[in-house]
Chains A and B, each alone.
Chain A
């Protein structure tokens, strides 16, 4: 079976700082992989490399068997055109820490935007699907509200519906609950839990250890640009093998 995400020896530097220093990660279809680690450990950067929001400096990164951002022919790498990168990103959904909803569009317009503009879907069909998706994240009655009229938790749920509207095969979550008030975290995690149950492949950068333990199929602990430890969430959380993992977990649990 082709892994959904296959990262081999990923390096990424911003100027003089090396943010990723040789990361290997494999995520199988249907797997929920949670990535944890202290801030600055490179976990968000790794996630952003998966849909080519950041370009990797070395290594190979494949999604569903295809190199991300590059094409390999006769042993040579060719950079993809912007339109080809855009084409690849259609199948990879992303949810941001700060939601990044389009503030000038209503909830339903946010969800319809990409299917209509990118997939050239018929407006009525896109609307029907958007209604369905907003209903699924529990916001059927909020479809005509602008993002500024929604709570953080509601905005993040719209953002999830917006990503799902493109029918992605992989969903990336970049600390989806970190910008939320504590009492709003649950509603977003509930939606994500539902997605995981339906078999969506997910890579989730998170600080929610409870979610990782309960929903995650694998847990990845990163520090200083490398994966220190990975395994079944319960085992890693209950019985960390590395000193760095132990000291991190002792601070957050």
Chain B
């Protein structure tokens, strides 16, 4: 950029040289070239096979199940997590202890064991009933009919996730300054109003990044439902390659879909983070969709 006459003369200093950076660039370039070369030339990758199966019905069916399981389990996990966190922070020590016990049990036992437990619940309780405790029963269900495989998957993944989400939400709530609660209380807001309108929106900023992590992790963790015979993306490709032995190409198919979903989730997380970051960073208010493309003037000048 040109220097205007009223500006002081700029520093005409020789910048520091960074030879190490150029060495690193060279090494990376060679490694990248090797990678591209092997991907293109090694027939073992079976790219035509990848293309054949990427949109095949069994794979898309598994993908659909992965999505459904992830979305519903995370919904159960988030709602349950908020409830458990509020219980955990309650002044009522019974509620707080129950939440602590829940978190202890569900974080402390393997998820596979929990999935199997829900699937075999009928061994423990062949029938489930609604009624007065220790009194008459109004409706009775056959456990195996009430909790089918899909329900067992949701219970296993969702209730386990709730325990992790509870700790994330609790950390978020604890991160909000106590002065906020006092200010809301001094204005006559009830505890519930304060939580909903003042504390949780601010806690979201701390809650969202680990929740994004949990969701991405759930995409892949949901493949554990194979232990109770349900199927999703990874199970679907396993079924295919156990028949046609195209193991690597089919694993690449699964990896492509997982990466695609993870990318979409990361973008979504970015939007939500900006939404709840309002007022907490300086600069113009409101989310800016393409903010990262618009460089600030001083950066352009530099």
Contact = CB atoms under 8 A, between A and B. Distances in A.
A231 interface: no
A148 B193 CA distance: 23
Which has the most chain A C-beta neighbours within 10 Å: B180, B186, B193, B278?
A: B186
Contacts of A51: 186
B196 to A, nearest CB: 9
A94 B186 contact: yes
B279 A113 contact: no
A149 interface: yes
A90 to B, nearest CB: 4
A94 B191 CA distance: 17
Nearest to B177: A100
Interface residues of A, number: 34
B281 interface: yes
Interface stretch (A27-35, A79-87, A133-141, A242-250): A79-87
A94 B187 CA distance: 8
A149 B282 contact: yes
B interface bracket (residues with beta carbon within 8 Å of A): 20 to 34
B286 to A, nearest CB: 10
B183 A117 contact: no
A104 B190 contact: no
B188 A114 contact: yes
B197 A89 contact: no
Contact of A114 (B189, B279, B280): B189
Interface string A196-210: 000000000000000
A166 B285 contact: no
A86 B185 contact: yes
Contacts of B198: 102
B133 to A, nearest CB: 29
Contact of B197 (A87, A96, A98, A113): A113
A133 B228 CA distance: 63
Contact of A100 (B180, B188, B201, B276): B180
Interface string B172-190: 0000010110111111111
A214 B183 CA distance: 28
Interface in B273-291: 276, 278-282, 285
A89 B281 contact: no
A92 B193 contact: no
B148 to A, nearest CB: 43
Nearest to A97: B179
A113 B190 contact: no
A113 B186 contact: no
Contacts of B182: 53, 96, 100
A190 B171 CA distance: 40
A3 to B, nearest CB: 21
Contacts of B202: 102-104
Contacts of B197: 113, 117
A89 B187 contact: yes
A87 B188 contact: yes
Nearest to B284: A149
Contacts of A88: 188
A166 B278 CA distance: 25
Interface in A28-59: 51, 53
Contact of B187 (A83, A105, A144, A166): A166
Contacts of A148: 279-282
Contacts of B193: 117-118
B185 A89 contact: yes
B189 A117 contact: yes
Interface in B249-298: 276, 278-282, 285
Contacts of B183: 94, 96, 100-102
A98 B285 contact: no
Contacts of A87: 188
B59 to A, nearest CB: 43
A90 B279 contact: no
A232 B187 CA distance: 31
Interface string A137-156: 00000001111110000000
A104 B189 contact: no
B174 to A, nearest CB: 16
A72 B282 CA distance: 50
Contacts of B191: 82
B189 A53 contact: no
A147 to B, nearest CB: 7
Interface of B: 177, 179-180, 182-191, 193, 197-198, 201-202, 276, 278-282, 285
Given A113-B187, A118-B189, A166-B187, 20 more contacts: A53-B186, A82-B190, A86-B188, A87-B188, A88-B188, A89-B185, A93-B186, A94-B186, A98-B179, A102-B180, A102-B198, A102-B202, A104-B278, A104-B280, A114-B187, A117-B189, A117-B197, A146-B280, A148-B279, A148-B281
23 contacts: A53-B186, A82-B190, A86-B190, A89-B188, A93-B186, A98-B179, A100-B183, A102-B183, A103-B202, A104-B201, A104-B276, A104-B278, A104-B280, A106-B279, A106-B285, A113-B187, A114-B187, A145-B285, A146-B285, A148-B282, A149-B285, A162-B187, A166-B188
